[in-house]
Amino acid sequence: MKPLIGLTPTPELLNMPHGTFRRHTLSDHYSRAIAAAGGIPVMLPSNFDDADAMLDRLDGVVITGGGDINPAEYEQDQHPKTDEIDSERDAFEQMVLKSAIARDMPILGICRGLQMFNVGLGGTLYQDVEDLKPDPAEHRQQSLGVHAEERFHSVTIAPGEHPLKEIADNGTMEVNSFHHQGIDKLASDLQAIATAEDGLVEAVWHPGISWGMAVQWHPELLAHKYDEHAAIFRSLVEASEKHHESEVNS
Amino acid sequence: MNAPIIGVTPSGGDNDLGVRAYAIAADYTMAVQRAGGIPVILPLHITEIDALLDTLDGVLFSGGGDIDPGIFNQETHETTGGIDAERDTFEIALMRAAFARDMPILAICRGIQVMNVERGGDLVQDIPSQTDSTKKHNQRAEGAGEHDIFQQAVLDDGENPVAKALGSGEIQINSFHHQALGTVPDSLKVVARGDDGIIEAVYAPDATFALGTQWHPERLAAQHAEQQALFDGFVTAAKDYANR
């Protein structure tokens, strides 16, 4: 059986001619990247209240990109640029993160997902990199007119045993970038495995589980044309296959 | 025993960044969840249908835009809209494969139309201009709320999964559609109609659990136990399927 990979969605409230509906929504790039890597992608309803029952039926999970995490989660007051807070989504993704780690299920975080890894495990964020981080580089390529599916800056890959070390040819990767928040204090359970030239953490690895990684960039937008980004999804799918086999055999 | 996992089909469309995205009203997933199922939403680009179904215990076909009338050999009526070729291809293949392995199916609004078309039937593309019905089938246009009861249908007596949930005789439903079932194949049995003759529910007697409703039970299920009972019956059938 192919591994079943759950993707967290973006909740939205939509006014339509036939009514106002709360909806679960997600761009197709994420699921296409998982399918291309050999997994079966499904989107998860973010108002589901029993992550354990849900993860019992999955082999891997992805926490996707989206709006900002409520800064109350890391005990800060809200910065004026912090936006699109959705407490239901925050709670759901925290549950998924903790349940996945507790059962050693492979988990990938993307953009907001990386921030959720860090906040969920006790770290903090710069609520606005431009305003709050010393000597920030530009992390919003759209402000310079660079297309989302093009690479924008390089990151330096840390030594050690983690998937990016195997994926990156010469210790660097070229990535895209569209975020205004970023990791400030790194959670003690996480290792920084990629950094931008301004020192911002661009990827983390959880050494306490078999496969737990998060990236600040959006590999799902690059995977169809840059193989090193497709390789991130292949690594997740491969780890999820192993997880599935170990569950079946246990 | 793990809870049964139910695949729910979403709508596809461009989001405000011009990127194709999939979306589904939370009413569907909450009705499955209340019934004890694990709802997951199925990306419409998936082509490996059998590998997908290997991971599921039941499939829920949701509401949405109109089916391409070319699929049931009709010219496109001027009011037919919201055609999504990726969704048509995915849902028809999924319906066929789910029937082939006798996986439980619940098909709502567009879903009952997909079921009918895939089984060999066709549709009325526009109720007001192509039938004698003078009833209103878009309750929002009449000022009713999206979670309100709007009209009635009459349900057949006897053994069928719709009557099992809702009882026989007059039932209270809602209405949000401009198309309806036309010719129904022998493999499906009509079990509910409005007083204007419009088909409101069918099921497949040869399948363990495969039924469709033209109305939207997911929008009523939180308030009306008999509508929730449709989802309860579906999830129970999915649990039995998982244990086969």
| Distance between CA atoms of residues A232 and B34, nearest Å | 36
> Does A142 contact B at CB distance below 8 Å?
no
Distance between CA atoms of residues B229 and B161, nearest Å = 10
Using a CB-CB cut-off of 8 Å, the residues of chain B touching A26 are: 21-23, 41
Is the CA virtual torsion A131, A133, A135, A138 positive or negative?
Answer: negative
Two tokens, residue A27: 């761009």
Indicate yes or no: CB of B40 within 8 angstroms of CB of A22. no
Name the pLDDT band for B1 (thresholds 50, 70, 90).
low
Contact predicate B132/B194, CB 8 Å: no
Closest-approach residue (CA) in chain A for B142: A18
Q: Residue A17 belongs to what H/E stretch?
A: none
- Residue B227 in 3-state DSSP? helix
The residue range of the domain holding B183 is 5-242
Quote the minimal CA–CA distance from B177 to chain A in Å.
10
Structure tokens at A208: 């306490």
Decide if A2 and B42 are in contact by the 8 Å CB cutoff. no
Instruction: Identify residues of B whose CB sits under 8 angstroms from chain A CBs.
Output: 2-3, 5, 7, 10, 12, 15, 17, 19-27, 29-30, 33, 38-46, 48, 51-52, 54-55, 138-141, 145-147, 176, 219
Pairing verdict, β B58-61 and B5-8: parallel
DSSP B140-199: TTTT--TTS--EEEEEPPSS-HHHHHH-SEEEEE--B-S-EE-S--TTSEEEEE-TT--E
User: Interface pTM (ipTM) of the complex?
Assistant: 0.94
Question: CB–CB of B26 and A45 under 8 A?
Answer: yes
For A216-240, what is the mean pLDDT? Answer: 97
How far does A45 lie from chain B, in Å, by closest CA?
Answer: 7
Q: Is the pLDDT of residue A14 over 90?
A: no
Closest residue in A to B174 (Cα) is A18
Q: Is A111 a catalytic residue?
A: yes
CA distance A89 to B122: 41
Say which CATH number the domain at B164 has. Answer: 3.40.50.880
Kindly list the distances between the CA atom of residue A27 and the CA atoms of A10, A66, A211, B177, in Å, as whole numbers in the listed order.
9, 11, 24, 27
pTM, two decimal places: 0.95
User: Residue B157: which residues within 8 A CB-CB, separation 6 or more?
Assistant: B163, B168, B169
Task: State the Cα–Cα distance between residues B19 and B156, nearest whole angstrom.
Answer: 45
| Best A34, A48, A247, A248 residue to mutate vs chain B (most B CBs within 10 Å) | A48
Give the domain CATH number at A200: 3.40.50.880
Taking CB atoms and an 8 Å limit, are B25 and A29 in contact across chains?
no
Domain residues for the domain of A117 are 4-13+21-249
In whole angstroms, give the CA distance from residue B152 to residue B157. 16
Is A32 part of the contact surface with chain B (CB cutoff 8 Å)? Answer: yes
Look up residue B92 and give its two tokens: 């028809």
Residue-by-residue DSSP string for B61-100: E---SPPPGGGGT-PPPTT-----HHHHHHHHHHHHHHHH
Residue B200 has φ and ψ, to the nearest 5°, of: -110, -20
Q: In sequence order, which residues have a C-beta less than 8 Å from that of residue A189 and are 6 or more positions away? A: A121, A122, A206, A208
- Whether the CB of A248 is below 8 Å from some CB of chain B: the reply is no
Q: What angle do CA B122, B124, B126 make, to 5 degrees?
A: 150
pLDDT at A142: 85
- Produce one character per residue of B23-54: b if its CB has 16 or more CB atoms within 10 Å, e if not: bbbbbbbbbbbebebbbbbbbbbbeebebbbe
Question: Which residues from A are below 8 Å from B15, CB to CB?
Answer: 25, 27
**Two tokens, residue A228:** 């090193």
Percent of chain B predicted with pLDDT > 70: 100
Residue A146: C-alpha distances to residues A129, B124, B242 (Å):
19, 48, 48
A146-195 pLDDT, tens per residue? 888 989 999 999 999 999 999 997 899 999 999 999 999 999 999 999 99
Number of A–B residue contacts, CB under 8 Å? 125
What per-residue confidence (pLDDT) applies to B144? 86
Over residues B33-41, the mean pLDDT reads 98
Among B11, B41, B46, most A C-beta atoms within 10 A, so best to mutate, is B41
Give the pLDDT confidence of B91-123 residue by residue, as tens digits: 999 999 999 999 999 999 999 999 999 999 999
Given A139, A153, A218, A243, the catalytic residue? A218
pLDDT(A209) > 80: yes
Test B3 with A57 for CB contact under 8 angstroms: yes
What is the four-CA torsion angle of A101, A106, A109, A110, rounded to 10 degrees?
A: -170
Record: contact B40-A42, CB cut-off 8 A: yes
- pLDDT tens across A67-121, in order? 999 999 999 999 999 999 999 999 999 999 999 999 999 999 999 999 999 999 9
Name the DSSP class of B3. Answer: P
Contact A57 B15 (CB under 8 A): no
Residue ranges of alpha helices (H) inside chain A are: 28-36, 51-55, 87-102, 112-120, 129-132, 163-167, 219-222, 227-249
**pLDDT for res A30:** 98
What are the C-alpha distances in Å from A138 to residues A84, A144, A149, B112? Answer: 21, 9, 17, 51
Write the DSSP string, A134-195: SS----BGGGGT--TTS--EEEEEPSSSSHHHHH-SSSEEEE--B-S-EESSPPTT-EEEEE
Confirm if B200 and B153 have CB atoms less than 8 A apart: yes
Which range in A16-25, A128-137, B227-236 is most confidently predicted, on average pLDDT?
B227-236
Contact A26 B21 (CB under 8 A): yes
Which residues in chain B have their CB less than 8 angstroms from residue A8's CB? Answer: none
The residue from A29, A111, A202, A244 that is catalytic is: A111
Helices A87-102, A112-120: inter-axial angle, 10-degree rounding: 70
Comparing alpha-carbon positions, the chain A residue that sits nearest to B63 is A18
Give yes or no for A22 touching B (CB within 8 A): yes
Unique residue bearing structure tokens 């809209």: B81
Q: Spell out the residues 6+ positions from residue A12 whose beta carbon is closer than 8 angstroms to its own.
A: A22, A23, A25, B23
How far lies B149's CA from each of A23, B127, B138, B215, in Å?
Answer: 21, 20, 12, 10
Q: Among B203, B198, B211, which residue's Cα sits nearest to residue B124?
A: B198
What is the domain count for chain A? Answer: 1
Q: Which residue of A has its CA nearest to B38?
A: A54
**Mutation test of the interface with chain B: which of A5, A8, A18, choosing the one with the most B Cβ atoms within 10 A?**
A18
Task: Using CB atoms, pick whichever of A2, A14, A43 lies closest to residue B41.
Answer: A43
Residue A23, chain B, CB below 8 Å: the answer is: yes
